[in-house]
Amino acid sequence: MDPPGKAWNKKVQVERAVAPDGGYAWFILVSCFFVFGLTFGVVKSFGVFYVEIQQYFGTTAAGTSWITSIAVATIHVAAPLASALSSRYSHRSVVIAGGLICSVGAILGSFGNNLVQLYLTVGFLNGFGYALTWTPTVTMLGMYFDKRRPVANALASAGECILTFILTPMFQLLINSFSWRGALLIMGALQLNLCVCGLLLRPLKSTRDVTCVNEGKAEEDGLSRKMLLKDILDEVKSSIQEEKELYTEESNQETSKKCLDDTEVEPSLAEDSTSLRERDLRTRVQQYVDYTLITNPRFMIYSMFGVFAALGFFAPSLFLVPYARSKGIEEYQAAALMSISAVLDLIGRVVFGWVANLRLVETVQQLTATVVLLGAVLLLCPLASTFYELVAFSAAHGLVYGATVAIHITVLPEVVGVQRLGSALGFFMLIRSSGGLLGPPIAGFFIDKMDSYGTGFLMSGVALLTSALFLLVLNLMMQKDQRKKNIFSDMETEELGQSFRVEGKDVDMT
């Protein structure tokens, strides 16, 4: 280490992908906007097909609901595969392939002669295509935005609301004009636009930052003082360690030579080669799928929230139109309820996404509050019976649902970090798939048993309130980790101060 008073120079090179929070990032946001609309917007609008398909095949509510359920579950199950393919090839190519699969699934579904064929086409193929488009696009959005990430997620997810508002009455009009088969055929052609969304995606290039540090101070565009002090401390520790190792080597030279003569401590070449191959395999696998996430307690708690939330997320949008029709409301008014919900959903996403961006409260705490409100609104739904009462419910549900969706993905980078977002999003969707798969059929089962669509909303409300309990646990864990981090930071600062007392002289740290 250089003596005090001598000029100290250091260069640091860091290669990393910097989120621009602007520029081409807005094109990524536009792509994500339409991906949200042409995937989950179509899923939410599918309720207008529900009654027509149920009457055409003469099946039960639970039987018909499996179409949407299989699509939602496939989105979740295939998400890790979509993340891995994006890492192996590119986000752009995977999204384009997903758009083609979505289109083929809807077109083949228009020729389906039974529910099983609809399960395989509109359910499985469509859901698989959605996974290949939605997962890489949302991952890239998280890479392009950092400071503005909550607002970016809110604006992108607004595509789901706006296209739900447009597609619900449009699908009803197409069904009345061309039957549900013709409407599915047109929907398949519409989903080819997902390929255009994929073309907009461009990899975020790494930038190399070169920082010079002189006279114990970081330059204006250099590292922070804390990083500088840590570098100096590392040099102090390194010097002490080198002196200690040198002393140990000189004092034990003869003993070491004797030990080498008497014992064999080197592993065999075959063992070295096997160990190297295993490490290389683990590194390659982690490059595409970070399986170590399943050992992260906070991530697993958040995933359990996702499971129970998914039980209640998708059933209401599927059963709102049939519930209104069962109350004697005519078909276009029933379809209008979904449009009203979509408008308030849009307002909720934008407003609460902006609130989350202000960082007035912890994002996980805001999410907990909105999930509790959403569960409460769903429990009140069976009390609505007239059109205007259902309008009030649709507005309240849309507003709180939008507030929830705007920030629930934003919490994930805070749980695992941005660098692991791709794999985390894939695993989160995979674990959540059980809720997405079982939610609509469980609601349909209660509807068939109780002969009332209102019971489906009750089930969804209970599931969401249960999911809020896991958010409370996650919040406690994150607060505990933050306290530990603060204690460690204080100890590190104190250790840095002590380390800069060289030969009884204090080093000026200012």
298: domain CATH number is 1.20.1250.20
Cβ-proximal residues to 494 (8 Å cutoff; 6+ apart), any chain:
none
In a domain, 461, yes or no: yes
Strands 207-214 and 501-502: unpaired
Nearest to 75 by CA among 367, 434, 315: 434
> How high is the mean pLDDT of the chain?
77
pTM for this prediction:
0.61
Predicted local confidence at residue 280, as pLDDT = 57
Decide if 127 is inside a domain. Answer: yes
Does residue 279 belong to any structural domain of this protein? no
- pLDDT over 60 at 283, yes or no: no
Q: Quick check: is 433 in a domain?
A: yes
Residues of the chain above pLDDT 90, percent: 22
- pLDDT given at position 315: 73
At 501, the pLDDT band (50, 70, 90 cuts) reads low
pLDDT band at residue 299, thresholds of 50, 70 and 90?
A: confident
Please tell me the total count of domains within the chain. Answer: 1
Residue 450, in any domain of the structure: yes
3-state secondary structure 252-283: CHHHHHHHHHHCCCCCCHHHHHHHHHHHHHHH
**499 lies in some domain:** no
Distances 392 to 48, 158, 373, 380 between C-alpha atoms, Å: 20, 21, 15, 11
| Of the ranges 122-126, 258-262, 349-353, 430-434, the best mean pLDDT one | 122-126
Quick check: 121 and 112 in contact, CB under 8 A?
Answer: yes
In this predicted structure, the answer to whether residue 102 has a pLDDT above a threshold of 90 is: yes
pLDDT band at 207 (very low <50, low <70, confident <90, very high): very low
CA angle 506, 507, 509 (to 5 degrees): 125
Q: What is the domain range of residue 129?
A: 19-205+290-485
Would 226 be classed as within a structural domain?
no
Nearest CA-CA partner of 132 in 107, 165, 156, 104: 104
**61 inside domain:** yes
Cβ atoms within 10 A of the Cβ of 189, count? 11
